[in-house]
Structure 1
Amino acid sequence: MELRDYLKILRRRWLSILVIAAICGGLAALVTALQTPQYASSARLFVSTSQTDDAQLFQGGQFSAQRVKSYADLITSRELADRVIADTGLEIEPGDLSAKVSAQAVLETVNLEITATDPDAHRAQRIAQSYAEQLRDLVRELETPSGQAEAPIKATIVDAASFSEDPVSPQPVRNIGLGVVAGLVLGFGAAVVRELVDTRITSSEDVTAVTDLPMLGAIINDPTAVKTPLLTQIPAHSPRAESFRVLRTNLQFVDVDRNHKVFVVTSALPGEGKTSTAVNLALSLVQGGCRTMLIECDLRRPKAAGRLGLDSAIGVTSILVGRVKAEEAVQIHDDSGLSFIAAGPVPPNPAELLQSHAMAELLRIARDEYDVVLLDAPPLLPVTDAAVLSARADGALLVVSHGTVTREQVRHSLERLEQVDAGVVGIVLNKVPGKGSAYGYGYGYGYAPNKNAEAADHG
């Protein structure tokens, strides 16, 4: 992946990254709040020898520096812990007391710093002071040769144990900051993994990653369209109506040198909204002054007639088997003037009927009579009907549902059309979220973007 790919992931997944960062920061704050505050106290000792000659002083300094490391190790000894317990009267096990204390030889010096931590600041001071005093005495005992009264090396307390009411742990700012940083890293990592695993179409960039075909429109998702599925039922200035006008305009400008009239409207899978798109695009074309016919060619699960409130008893299958003539099956949608032919009775052999000579004759008649003919076809991947129709039409519109269909499924759908030498005029991205959508089609120009848009269609 290149840098721009990571930037794209950051732009698309920034909200989830921030949510994970906030959760990690909150967990860090919770853990910090549950921790017992610890207070620290430090005492400092100076290790020296009794030599007075300059050469001996130099050697003595080196000797003292070596000894300091040994004294630091004595801090964790049981002997010293027992002495401190006896001195302070603390009711604690030697091992537990040793865990509270640490010692560090200051680099390039003969100083030894002892630090004690405890939930009680005063007790931490008592422990540190006692350790300094007991270590001083222990060094004197250990370093005094047998039969002599004084040791050649001694430890002197130069800084008594300090006292502070400010706890050294936990550190809320540091802990929460580290939690947030860890959350950002984790969130971005999860976003990258999700981007690599999740191949659903969620943007125009995803479409262009699959095909060079133009994206003719983006239909905004509108949950309220379940009650008002048709353009004739909503205000003409609504974003949903505007999106279909944009689609209508873009369709009219596709390959203007050729006389395209018959278009198949299909999708990769069921439920992507191809019937809703076909019906409303047809209504939009009529509103734009085009003599338009919509033919319901989904002979397996026809739904367009129900959307328009028209009779489905007589239609395409009736024409193809010779029961009625084409003109006798045409219905007019009262609210728009759209000419419509329903699917008719569901046949046992839809694919054979759609590739028959009778179907070719029906398309020829419709082409001669109307400016634009739209064919509402079944999905491409489950059945071959749409591919058969596309081979006889002037082009196909592939409806792609936002967040539902994957790139691979779209790619396979386009391959189905290529196998029959069918032309694809473009892609229609459907069910696009209303907020934060920017697909370059002028949505919201003169209108305030809202949640009203194209409904989820299960046709």
Structure 2
Amino acid sequence: MSTTTNTMSIARAIAVIRKRWYLVLAAAILGGVGAFAVSNTVTPTYHSTASLYFSLRTGSSGSDINQGSAYTQAQMLSFARLATSSVVLDPVSEQFDGELTEPQLRRLMSVTIPQSTVILDVRVGSTDRRLAALVANRVADSLITAVDEVAPADADGNSTVSATVIEPAEPAIFQTFPNKQQDALLGAIAGFILACAALVFGSFLDTRVRSESALKSLTGVPILASIERFPKSSDPRPVALRQPDGRAAASVRRLRSALRFASASHETRSIVVTSSVHFEGKSSVAANLAVVVAETGARVLLIDANLRTPRVAEMFSRDGSVGLTTVLVDSVPFRSIVQPWAGSTLDILPSGEVPPNPVELLESARMSDLIREVVAEYDLVVIDTAPVLAGADALVMARQVDSTVVIVDYKRVRRAQLTTTLEALERSDAHISGLIPNGVKARARAMDDRRDAEVKKHTSARPKIPASSAAAE
């Protein structure tokens, strides 16, 4: 379980970065450019190095030379310490007429000894390239004089240790600090890492269902079809009526086809459309689904069983004062309340007056009788209900119909809310046909066509929703 979770987390992180690759690229570019710009504001520092070679003056045989070399190498740390002492630096300071004090010289320079050698490097850094070379050479000359003074003398009174400049310091051509190219590279890497970390961290903090892949990993419920975002309009009618040839209407027709094949093993004459929370677009999907199924010649009844915030009457510009509650409370025959849609096989049963006790009405015996009655008369009954988390309305209705579909708006619903919704429907013995992502961005139709092909490949029985629709298509 832990390995699976870790794998899913890594896969999710990679998916987030791949989806927002342009942000990562922009952060890397900005980081590189920013670091390069900051480097340009820093005063450049130049380094020059003078190299000295140390040896013994005595000894002519090979054995004496080897012993002398070993002795000199053993003394190299002492010579390095001598190079930063006042014995060496005071004379250099005097040469600059006191403009560079001993502490200042010590801060400018560094002394290194290549491993296992008798070579000593005096490295000096300054914002003035010529000054850096001049100081390095003068320190090297002063060190040679100091070595002659402090080294042991031979019988003739001469120093036994000789120090020679083998490579004098030259003014640097290129600055050593800041390294603009290196800083730009490090800035780009830092921008890349920070952007990836921010995206991944933000993704794991964001509990919304952001994509179809996230939806698949969260639930085991099939995805029927994605409904594209409906274009904004002052016309309240379903998009299948106001823009029947548009992409959004086409996505609803793909949902119609998906429901047909999804119902191959489970006959569906009545279907509940619900969601987890408000404003996920379930009423719009229910209305458009009813319209596109009626296009095939099937007799369709759209019932607004959302007795909390009904919207069906408004979308079809119908009188919503009489409707489902009128049938349930006043025992009025539904045929006298149903409002047909002109030029179509679609009938509409609005909600009626909003009652104070919607759950009691929906789970009443009269409601059960009404569903059985309308299912016998229509090819398909589409029922819009309140969101599952808004009350028990949808759970009550889901037990009384053949199938239930759950609308999912990636921008609205949270993972925990969707999980709770599906668990509640399963506990109510509802048959969940699938999930319907709603309000997704326009995308290539081929993706949904591939999903339709997969559904058809795994379905061998003749579709059963609705019979006339199957014949028409």
TM-score (norm 1): 0.89
Amino acid at match of 1:325: P
**CA pair 257-161 structure 1, distance change in 2 beyond 3 A:** closer
Asked if the contact 1:262/1:372 (under 8 Å) is kept, the reply is yes
1:205 aligns with 2:209: no
**SS of match in other structure, 1:216:** coil
Unmatched segments (≥5 aa) in structure 2? 1-5, 453-473
How many residues align? The count is 443
2:54 is aligned to: 47
Give the C-alpha shift of residue 66 in structure 1. 2.2
Question: Take 1:219 and 1:326, find their aligned partners in 2: how far apart are those partners?
Answer: 31
Distance 1:441 1:76 in 2: 77
Pairing 1:409-428 to 2, within 5 Å after superposition: 409-428=417-436
How far apart, CA to CA, are the structure 2 residues paired with 1:76 and 1:373? 95
Provide the residue aligned with 1:432 in structure 2. 440
Q: Look up the match of 1:128.
A: 136
Match of 1:11 among 11, 18, 29: 18
What do the CA deviations read for 1:248-297 (whole angstroms, capped 9, x no partner)?
11011123244311111111111211112111122221223322111111
Q: Distance in 1 between matches of 2:140 and 2:344?
A: 97
SS for the counterpart of 2:330 is coil
Structure 1 stretches of 5 or more lacking a match?
A: 446-459
245-254 or 211-220: which moved more? 211-220
Whether the 8 Å CA contact 1:295–1:342 is kept in 2: the answer is: yes
In structure 1, C-alpha distance between the alignment counterparts of 2:343 and 2:298, rounded to whole Å: 15
Change (3 A) 1:393 1:168: same
Tell me, yes or no, if structure 1 residue 32 matches structure 2 residue 22: no
- The change in CA–CA distance for 1:228 and 1:124 in structure 2 (over 3 A counts) is farther
C-alpha distance 184-438 of structure 1, shift in aligned 2 (>3 A):
farther
CA contact (8 A) 1:44 1:158 kept: yes
SS of residue matched to 1:440: helix
Matched with 2:407 is: 399
- Give the SS at the match of 1:405: coil
1: CA distance, partners of 2:249 / 2:355: 35
8 Å CA contact 1:231, 1:283 repeated in 2? no
How many Å separate the matches in 2 of 1:253 and 1:265?
A: 17
Contact 1:399-1:428 at 8 Å conserved across structures: yes
Q: One-letter code of the match for 2:40?
A: A
Match of 2:151 among 143, 151, 169: 143
> 1:293 maps to what in 2?
301
Partner Cα distance (1:398, 1:327) in 2: 29
Task: Give 1:38-437 correspondences, 5 Å limit.
Answer: 38-53=45-60, 54-78=62-86, 80-89=88-97, 91-144=99-152, 149-222=157-230, 224-225=232-233, 230-322=238-330, 324-334=332-342, 338-434=346-442
Q: What is the Cα deviation at residue 415 of structure 1?
A: 0.8
Which segment is superposed worse, 365-374 or 228-237?
228-237
Counterparts of 1:334 and 1:404 in 2: how far apart (Å)? 35
Task: Kindly state the Cα deviation for residue 96 of structure 1 after the two structures are TM-superposed.
Answer: 3.7
Contact 1:320 1:358 (C-alpha < 8 Å) held by counterparts: yes
Tell me, in whole angstroms, the C-alpha distance in 2 between the residues paired with 1:74 and 1:405.
Answer: 74
Conserved in 1, the CA contact under 8 Å of 2:236 and 2:316?
no
Q: How far off its partner does 1:195 sit?
A: 3.7
TM-aligned CA distance change 1:267 to 1:432, over 3 Å: same
Q: Deviations over 1:196-235 (max 9, x none)?
A: 3333212222222222221011122345256566224544
Pairwise CA RMSD: 2.6
SS across alignment from 2:135: helix
CA distance in 2, matches of 1:258, 1:398: 17
Secondary structure (helix, strand or coil) at the match of 1:69 reads: helix
Q: Distance in 1 between matches of 2:160 and 2:233?
A: 96
The CA deviation at 1:149 is 4.3
In the TM superposition, what is the alpha-carbon distance from 1:5 to its structure 2 partner?
Answer: 4.9
Q: Following the alignment from structure 1 to structure 2, what is the Cα–Cα distance between the partners of residues 356 and 396?
A: 19
Query: Match for 1:45: what amino acid?
Result: L
SS of 1:321's partner is: helix
- 135-144 vs 35-44, greater mean Cα deviation: 135-144
Q: Distance in 2 between matches of 1:288 and 1:132?
A: 98
> What percent of counterpart residues are identical?
30
Deviation of 1:112 (Å): 1.0
Per the TM alignment, residue 185 of structure 1 is displaced from its structure 2 partner at its CA by 2.8
| 2:31/2:191 contact within 8 Å kept | yes
Q: Deviations over 1:374-402 (max 9, x none)?
A: 11111111211101100101111101111
Q: Which amino acid aligns with 1:387?
A: L
SS in 2 for 1:441: helix
TM-score, length basis structure 2: 0.86
Distance in structure 1 (CA, Å) of the matches to 2:291 and 2:86: 91
In the alignment, the residues of structure 2 paired with residue 116 and residue 356 of structure 1 have an alpha-carbon distance, to the nearest angstrom, of 94
State the Cα deviation string for residues 375-433 of structure 1 (Å, max 9, x = none): 11111112111011001011111011114322222111011111111110100011223
Show CA shifts across 1:107-128 (max 9, x none).
2221111211111211211121
Q: What whole-Å deviation, never above 9, does each CA across 1:332-360 have from its counterpart, x for those lacking one?
A: 33475531111111111011011011111
Mean Cα displacement is larger for which, 193-202 or 324-333? 193-202
